Amino acid sequence: MGCILVTGFEPFGGEKINPSWLAAERLPAVVAGRPVEKLLLPVEFGASARLLCRRLEQLQPEVVLCLGQAGGRAALTAERVAINIMDASQPDNAGFQPQDQPVCPGGPAAYFSSLPLKACVQAARQAGVPAAVSNTAGTYVCNQLLYAALDWAQKNDCAAKTGFIHLPWLPVQVLDRPGQPSMELDTMVRGIQAVLEAALETEEGENNGSGTENP
């Protein structure tokens, strides 16, 4: 039995907090009998992916769940796909702002998440937490991280169920953004825990691309 690796990000874009790391920190140390390893990542193209891949190599986890903030979304959103593009509308935390560049030169155009997405979303909802499948992780650091994790799994023959969940803003982040959606941290954590349990319970990785395999 392996472990679970959960990652979260530092704040970015002028925010003081990032719900992804706060939620990762608050997860229990053990979920479904597996130890939960937590990794804080910088909001930087390149460095975030390198740090994650190094940890994947060390831990060989059973489930890899990366978390990120997607301000403006109202639910936990489980990403279906990572695309081979970096196209940033704002610089990352190291000041790098790639435009129309591949994550992995010569790599496939996209990878599907290997999490059982529908089972994960259903589990979160059953726990009372709004959740949905998302068909775009954007073209910023989060998409790059999921692409890099799935590319690593592909190249290293790694069967880890690997996915990404974008989280809404926390209530404190929308105080000056009237009308914008938010979610309490405890609610997020409950949903993420349900997602992890569903990922471990579902025997076969669901096919997220209607018959299309990752390359």
Residues that bind ligand PCA (CB under 6 A): 9, 12, 18, 20, 43, 68-70, 138, 140-142
User: How many angstroms from the chain centroid is the CA of residue 43?
Assistant: 13
Per the residue annotation, which of 53, 66, 142, 206 is the catalytic one?
A: 142
Tell me whether residue 70 or residue 160 sits nearer to ligand PCA (CB atom): 70
Tell me whether residue 70 or residue 153 sits nearer to ligand PCA (CB atom): 70
Rounded to a whole number of angstroms, the minimum distance from the CB of residue 59 to ligand PCA is 22
Tell me whether residue 89 or residue 126 sits nearer to ligand PCA (CB atom): 89
Q: Helix, strand or coil for residue 133?
A: strand
Rounded to a whole number of angstroms, the minimum distance from the CB of residue 188 to ligand PCA is 13
Tell me whether residue 69 or residue 162 sits nearer to ligand PCA (CB atom): 69
- In this structure, the chain runs to a length of 215
Per the residue annotation, which of 3, 66, 120, 166 is the catalytic one?
A: 166
- Whole-angstrom Cα distance, residue 90 to residue 164? 21
Rounded to a whole number of angstroms, the minimum distance from the CB of residue 210 to ligand PCA is 25
Task: Indicate if 158 belongs to the active site.
Answer: no
Query: Residue 48: what are its φ and ψ, rounded to 5°?
Result: -60, -45
- Whole-angstrom Cα distance, residue 86 to residue 64? 22
User: How many angstroms from the chain centroid is the CA of residue 194?
Assistant: 15
Rounded to a whole number of angstroms, the minimum distance from the CB of residue 12 to ligand PCA is 5
Per the residue annotation, which of 79, 120, 197, 206 is the catalytic one?
A: 79
Q: Helix, strand or coil for residue 210?
A: coil
Question: Taking every pair of C-alpha atoms in the chain, what is the biggest distance, in angstroms?
Answer: 47
Task: Indicate if 166 belongs to the active site.
Answer: yes
Query: Residue 90: what are its φ and ψ, rounded to 5°?
Result: -145, 155
Task: Indicate if 79 belongs to the active site.
Answer: yes
Q: Please say whether the beta carbons of 39 and 45 come within 8 A.
A: no
What residues are labeled active site? Answer: 79, 142, 166
